[in-house]
Amino acid sequence: EIASVALRGPPLAALLALNAIVVLEDFHFASRVPDPALPRARLKSNPVPEFASAFRRAVDPWHFAGGYGLFRTMTIDRPEIVLEGTRDGIAWREYDARWKPDRLDVRPRFVAPHQPRVAWQFWFAALERQYDPRGRNARWFSALVSKLLENDPVALRLFEENPFPGAPPLAIRAKLYAYEFTTLEERLRTGNWWKRRELGPYLMPVSKSRPRL
């Protein structure tokens, strides 16, 4: 009750103004970064007067308002890692991820409020362009590959189906692709939501007998 009384009149107006200052300054900062998410909405100059910026800096220690931008800018391409397995080293079959783009004919899924964490981590790993055993994503990625080599049922829940239901694969590799949405004409002609271009290997073939993770 005390808080509701305190946030009336001038205090509430000051708080709203402070939040507006933070939003405008954040937007101005984001628009200065190369290849921003909204390239047509750039602010060439800071719309916030200097006295207002000084006020915001003065009250920063009290955390009345704060800029929050998880991804102030977004990547303009979409690299995707596609895992493949084989039993003979010749024929390779893909693991179709349940939440991230893999199959070209599957439309993007509505997931909110669920957050598919592993699918999200795949995106970060793909930005590295190649598997690095010392990289930030090496631990979970190598664990996933090791579990797939054992046909682990928990790991397989991350995928639409197990391409090796009888026995686990002898080896697994990963390729990196650049994914793009198809145009309306392409979608009507092919039925695909995505098109992709192979960029190269992400992980060279590994097996339980010859691990390279």
| DSSP symbol at 187 | H
How far is the first Cα of the chain from the last one, in angstroms, to the nearest whole number? 58
Amino acid at 10: P
pLDDT at 95: 96
Opening angle at CA 90, ends 87 and 95, nearest 5: 60
Predicted confidence (pLDDT) per residue in 189-199, tens digit = 999 999 999 99
19 versus 163: the higher-pLDDT residue is 163
20 versus 176: the higher-pLDDT residue is 176
Q: Side by side, which strands form the sheet with 194-206?
A: 92-94, 78-86, 171-181, 194-206
> Per-residue confidence at 51, pLDDT binned at 50, 70, 90?
confident
Sign of CA pseudo-dihedral 87, 89, 94, 97: positive
Burial of 140 from C-beta contacts in 10 A (0-12 / 13-18 / 19+)? middle
Is there a cis peptide before residue 113, judged by omega within 30 degrees of 0? Answer: yes
Burial of 174 from C-beta contacts in 10 A (0-12 / 13-18 / 19+)? buried
Whole-prediction pTM? 0.67
Distance of CA 69 to the CA centre of its chain: 15
Distance CA 145, CA 131 (A): 12
